[in-house]
Amino acid sequence: MKLTLPAIDFDTFHRTELVELLARGNGSLAYADLKDAPPLGFRIPASKGYTYVPADGTVRVEAGTSGADTIVELGLNSWRELVCEYRTPIGLAYAGKLTFARGDYSGLSRWEAALWAMFKGRPVYDPAKVDLNDAAGQPLDLHRRFSPDEPFERMREFFLKTGFLVVRGLFSSAEIEVLRAEVMRIAGEARPGDRHSWWARDAAGNDLLSRILYLSQKSQVIARLEGEPRLARLARMAEEPLIPVHNRMDSPVAMLKVGGAVSGLADYPWHTDCGLGLHPILCPKAVMGIQLDAMTPQSGQLFMLAGSWRYSCRQGPDTSYENLPVVALETEPGDCTVHFGHSLHAAPPPLVPRGRRTMYMSFCKPVCEQVFAEGESPNDVLYTSEDAFIPTADIAGKTAGA
């Protein structure tokens, strides 16, 4: 991966640059999500650190960390990565790049959405401020499924408002049968530890294949999809040019929903696809989901938080999604889903032992080809420790007081 990390000075940033950002409005954006949050401190080697304190409708930056409920300790470059959003808190945790002198990961996670408001000026998701109406001011039907021949601008309007879209019957039953056979052929060749597949385990300790990576390296049929005009048309709905990533960032992948997993990456809590980091490089990322099976409550659905792709969202066990515009997508084989990678979404387990199978292809900004070589992905950090495929909550716990 080729990425230049800005040489931000820790003290100058906190004494001058961050103070100015907060005064220009970033402080009020962050405070909207921090009214009950305890102070958070950051320290790097050879520094007494700084503490962020929600107060008077903004965030105050105080020298030192004596008043912080949670104190995060990390290296200078790791802190720079956080400020640039090249790594997120959980991305740093997976990489073993942070520890806690006081408190634990939950104290940092509580602040994450507000940190992006402070550092980047990106608002925290507020359903009262999200526009989910059409051009005529009427509420969008968030469960709508579009036909492939509907006007492009109508689909684009829906996509840019919600961050997701379902297109009915984009692929024929014959095409789906071929793709399904290719995916299952490749699945039969996957093995734990091959770094081209993700696995989970059930309560009896059996390995469960849950995801296959870089499918186009193993199938000419799938490789040809990277030039598929139907997918390219959908990618043009984004507000800037996007291209297929060509064997980068795990793409194309197949998700194989399996029931009964007790560990590993089989089911996905609320997250964004840039959740480990590199949002400025990856996004807007558009992900095309070619549905090889029906997506139903029994087979395991994809849940989307409508309109979230333009915001930061609080996540974690203390977060409630009740009374929010959460949409459970339903599809048939041959349908295609599209979602922005920064949309908050979840994929809970199916209600049957073998759930849906879906192929996903990613479209990103052309700069991704300059940053990532073929076979490189932000998710590679998941392979770097023995903790890679245990639940996120356990990862967070293991960093506490390390």
pTM of the predicted structure, to 2 decimals? 0.91
In single-letter form, the type of residue at position 341 comes to G
Both 131 and 210 in one domain: the answer is yes
Of 72, 95, 120, which residue is a domain's last?
120
User: Pairing mode, if any, of strands 286-291 and 58-63?
Assistant: unpaired
Both 92 and 187 in one domain: the answer is no
Of 60, 88, 120, which residue is a domain's last?
120
Q: What angle do CA 214, 219, 222 make, to 5 degrees?
A: 80
Q: Is the residue at 390 inside a domain?
A: no
Q: What is the pLDDT of residue 395?
A: 31
User: Pairing mode, if any, of strands 243-244 and 354-364?
Assistant: antiparallel
Tally DSSP H helices, then E strands, for the chain.
Answer: 14, 18
Both 170 and 245 in one domain: the answer is yes
Which segments of the chain have a pLDDT < 50? 385-402
Q: Is the residue at 396 inside a domain?
A: no
List the CATH number of the domain containing 191. Answer: 2.60.120.620
List the CATH number of the domain containing 24. Answer: 3.30.1050.10
Q: Which residues pair with 255 in a beta bridge?
A: 211, 358
Both 78 and 156 in one domain: the answer is no
Query: What percentage of the chain carries pLDDT values higher than 70?
Result: 94
Tell me the C-alpha to C-alpha distance, in Å, between residue 228 and each of 56, 155, 164: 53, 19, 20
Q: Say if residues 357 and 67 touch (Cβ distance below 8 Å).
A: no
Q: Which residues pair with 61 in a beta bridge?
A: 52
Q: Report d(CA 104, CA 40) in Å as an integer.
A: 11
Q: Report d(CA 276, CA 264) in Å as an integer.
A: 16
What is the domain range of residue 268? 127-371
Q: Using CB atoms within 10 A of its CB, is residue 35 exposed (0-12), middle (13-18) or buried (19+)?
A: exposed
Q: Report d(CA 133, CA 157) in Å as an integer.
A: 10
Q: What is the pLDDT of residue 384?
A: 54
Number of domains observed in the structure of the chain: 2
Q: Is the residue at 158 inside a domain?
A: yes
Query: Which two three-digit tokens encode residue 115?
Result: 């940190």
